[in-house]
Amino acid sequence: MTADATPALVEDKQRTAAGPRVRKGSAYPRYLAGKLAGAAVSLLAVLVTSFFLFRLIPGDPVKTMTGGRQVSAEQLAAYREELGLGLPLWRQFTDYCGKALTGDFGTSYQFRAPVVDKITEALPNTLLLTGTAFVLYTALGIFLGTRSAWRHGRLGDRFHTGLALTLYSIPSFWLGLLLITVLSVGIGPLPGMFPTGGMESGDEEGFAHVLDVAHHLVLPVVTLVAVEYGQTLLVTRSALLDEMGSDYLTTARAKGLRDDLVRRRHAVPNALLPTVTLIFINLGRTVAGVILVETVFSWPGLGGLFYQALSVPDLPLVQGLFFEFATAVILMNTLADLVYPLLDPRVAR
């Protein structure tokens, strides 16, 4: 071996021991650009899908909205022309895409109001319901999932895991109807304690109004928390179980750290990556609303509005709501991808 080759060999050994060398400052921008480009393509696909998908729904919006009235064929044709349904399909598609790119989804057939205004009006009600449920089922799922994993195999772990699987498999509308029957209508000696639906009674003001809304909020929130917390619990539990046998936890215990500190400071932060993705996806779903639960409880949010629009079908409103639902999920999923490298830099390599 020559003397000139020795420094290169030493450098190779050092590089091998330290792991592969990563070019700093170049990996994350490429990663960021790729994720943003993927989100843009997904949004474009949603825009196209939202136009064609709901035109496959059987039914004529014009006949539905004029049902029960004596309307001539000429009047139906004029009404259809007024709504833009008489144009060729390609012309309807180009008009829809052009307006949608500027945030204009047209005018609702049944409400005779801009689609954006109807979405803006119902969005706060949905955020109140789904946002409250999101905070509760996320906190409950992470807490119980952590405890179940740390004490896996014990009675508490088996109970919480079994209960989570059972509730997660129950349809939300069925559970909502059951809660209405038991806690709203009353059954046997148990009187009805909560409203059967709606968001408010309509005759309270000030703090009494806040209490009234909270009273109406209980059953739909309980329904969502009961169905959704199990998913967070199971993901958190599974991720933490994968970390349980890691060497760094053994080292932390060998240093004399208490078991609670090992779990809270070392195990849980490293096991939260899958849970972070789930949290962001669920956060996107809070904006999308919950169609079945809002419909069962007559909650005046985006989910109930979507159900009303489907019954016509109110094409501009359905298309606008579908695009808003999908956009929220895509953006939150993209945001999770962008946060990932900050939690684990190896993701962007």
Question: What tens digit of pLDDT does each residue of 98-111 get?
Answer: 888 888 888 888 88
At 30, list the tokens.
């490429």
Per-residue pLDDT, 18: 40
At 26, list the tokens.
């170049």
Round to the nearest angstrom and report the end-to-end CA distance of the chain: 35
Per-residue pLDDT, 257: 72
Per-residue pLDDT, 138: 93
Query: At a CB cut-off of 8 Å and minimum separation 6, what does 60 contact?
Result: none
Per-residue pLDDT, 121: 92
Cβ distance 294 to 129 under 8 Å?
A: yes
Per-residue pLDDT, 150: 79
Per-residue pLDDT, 345: 66
Per-residue pLDDT, 218: 93
What residues in the chain have per-residue pLDDT under 50? 1-24
In the chain, the amino acid numbered 266 is H
Rounded-to-integer distance, Cα 231 and Cα 250, Å: 29
Residue with tokens 């969005």: 123
38-86 confidence digits (pLDDT tens): 888 988 888 888 888 877 777 667 766 666 566 667 777 777 777 777 7
Rounded-to-integer distance, Cα 42 and Cα 102, Å: 18
Per-residue pLDDT, 68: 58
Cβ distance 177 to 242 under 8 Å?
A: no
Rounded-to-integer distance, Cα 88 and Cα 335, Å: 39
Per-residue pLDDT, 245: 67
Rounded-to-integer distance, Cα 144 and Cα 225, Å: 13
Per-residue pLDDT, 313: 81
Per-residue pLDDT, 344: 66
What's CA 78's distance to the chain center, in Å? 41
Q: Which class is domain 27-58+105-348?
A: mainly alpha
Per-residue pLDDT, 282: 86
Domains of the chain, by residue range, sit at 27-58+105-348
The predicted model scores a pTM of 0.78
Q: Hey, which residues does 114 pair with through a beta bridge?
A: 107
